[in-house]
Amino acid sequence: MAISDLGLADAIPPDFTLGVATSAFQIEGAADADGRGPSGWDVFARQPGHIVDGHSPMVSCDHYHRMHEDVALIKALGADSYRFSLSWPRIQPQGSGPVNKAGLDFYDRLVDELLANDISPMVTLYHWETPLALDEAGGWMNRDTAYRLGDFADIAAQALGDRVRRWVTVNEPATVTVNGYALGIHAPGESLFLKALPTVHHQLLGHGLAVQALRSAGVPGEIGITNVYSPMVPASDGALDKISAGLMDAVQNRLFADPVLLGKYPALVSAANMLTSFSIDDDDLALISQPLDFYGLNYYMPTRVAAGASGDPVPEAMAGALGDLGETVPGALLHITPWPGAETTAYGWPIVPEYLSVALAELSERYPDLPPVFITEGGASFDDRITRTGDPAEGDVVIADEARIRYLADHIHTAIAATSAGGAAESIALRGYYVWSLLDNFEWQAGYQQPFGLVHVDFSSLKRTPKASYYWLQKLLSARRGPTAPDDSKLPAPRRTIG
């Protein structure tokens, strides 16, 4: 049953930030405009078989040319904050060396336009758009990429640092490592399996260097990182399923959170690392675990894990499997199984809102010094039902996405309840929730097949049409009690007003 809008509005604490999120590569298009350099994703997406139906990201939502319209949509929604990412190759086409002023100016205008509309900017430095030149030099397998990200953070700080309210250094390094380097389903398309481990360390080091650069530049905004987190639940009480869930937890969750929040890698990973002849320096861990102003959590679903290959009997060697990881395709060791009785999104992701409470509780237990938390992404893709009214005055198109409304209402409510007094994660200071996503967009390898937007985009005409979920969130935002002060009240006024 959906939680009533008014019940939810009353539950939202004052000063709780409700925002919307996007990323540059997924919405901007304009891939050749104004001196943008090529990215590894441009090349990966062009290769046959990588993207569902051969969809191209080169135009996408064309947000680069429609920024005013999109900011107007956020303004009309009434959101407190907008999380977006900087396109690294748009700003620094080679990933090192000269800055492309025209590219940087785009973000300068965007930040000013947001502030002029009382929308607080949360900027992600790295949301997977690696300049091609860096990918060609080894990408995140190359330690040098971490230093390049540190330099890029300084460029961003000098240009936008006076006005950005919050910085996210790196988005979901786990997805880059697993999808991009271990399994080859994201750019740069490497299938290195366990040998992808150095990409974990280099991304986290890049995070540390970016924090250092932002702090040395003296930016007034708050700084954090965003990790995805999915509680790993064994499919049965059997020992092998439990070991499998533990392994997934170590590889997907702890591997990326422990170094940042505890200053060390999980023991299992340190052991596995011996197979990869890759060394971890103590100074690196000090950089990686620098204190943060907030911790970003992307939460979509829990994961149910079973031992063995899907549909096959558990391999006899499973008990000794941890030692065999270097030689074995991970998919044969364990697999993800459907959640019994759960509805799913169009992606097939189980919808089990109470596991957001489990995720928060696990985080609070594991990381006693956790800084305040923002849920920097949450949302769902559905096969949206599009009804044509035939009457342009009525908006022409109606999208009744009730399932998305229910997903968002249930998850926002669960997060707030879990972190309130008496909740499962009451020690966490939860500061906000960002809906993924403002717009239907280029969903990586799924192309345009997985719409997550509050706003529908017709990818032939590029027309934007708010869905029922947009109007639902608009009502929620105007019915709640807060915020007591604008989210950017600690920052100077916009440098200039855009007419």
Active site residues: 172, 377
Residue from 152, 367, 382, 444 touching ligand FCB (CB under 6 A): that is 444
Compute the least distance from the CB of residue 376 to ligand FCB, in Å. 9
Which listed range, 87-95, 169-177, 261-269, 348-356, lies at the site for ligand FCB (CB under 6 A)?
169-177
202-241 residues near ligand FCB, rule: CB under 6 A: 228
What CA–CA distance (Å, rounded) separates 488 from 177?
A: 33
Q: Which is nearer to ligand FCB, 23 or 145 (CB)?
A: 23
Q: Is 171 in the site for ligand FCB (CB under 6 A)?
A: yes
- Selected range binding ligand FCB among 112-120, 155-163, 436-444, 457-465, rule: CB under 6 A: 436-444
Binding segment for ligand FCB (CB under 6 A), chosen from 107-115, 142-150, 171-179, 210-218, is 171-179
| Residue number, 121 or 423, with CB nearest to ligand FCB | 121
Taking residues 276 to 315 in sequence order and writing x for each that binds ligand FCB by CB under 6 A, - otherwise, the string is ----------------------x-----------------
Instruction: Give yes or no for residue 384 binding ligand FCB (CB under 6 A).
Output: no
Q: Which of 100, 209, 223, 236 is nearest to 167 (CA)?
A: 223
- Interface segment toward ligand FCB; rule CB under 6 A; list 105-113, 170-178, 315-323, 399-407: 170-178
For position 172 contacting ligand FCB by CB under 6 A, the verdict is yes
**Residue 86 contacts residue 156 (beta carbons within 8 Å):** yes
Position 75: which residue type?
Answer: K
Beta carbon nearer to ligand FCB, 156 or 228: 228
User: Do 375 and 430 contact (CB within 8 A), yes or no?
Assistant: yes
> Is there binding between residue 44 and ligand FCB (CB under 6 A)?
no
Among 487, 451, 449, residue whose Cα is nearest residue 467 = 451
Structure token pair of residue 422: 């008496």
Contact range with ligand FCB by CB under 6 A, out of 51-59, 168-176, 236-244, 251-259: 168-176
Closer by beta carbon to ligand FCB, 363 or else 491? 363
Closest contact distance (angstroms) between CB of 456 and ligand FCB is 16
Q: Does the protein bind ligand FCB through residue 377 (CB under 6 A)? A: yes
Which residue lies nearer to ligand FCB by CB, 253 or 273? Answer: 253
User: What is the contact surface with ligand FCB in residues (CB under 6 A)?
Assistant: 23, 26, 171-172, 175, 228, 298, 377, 436, 443-444, 452
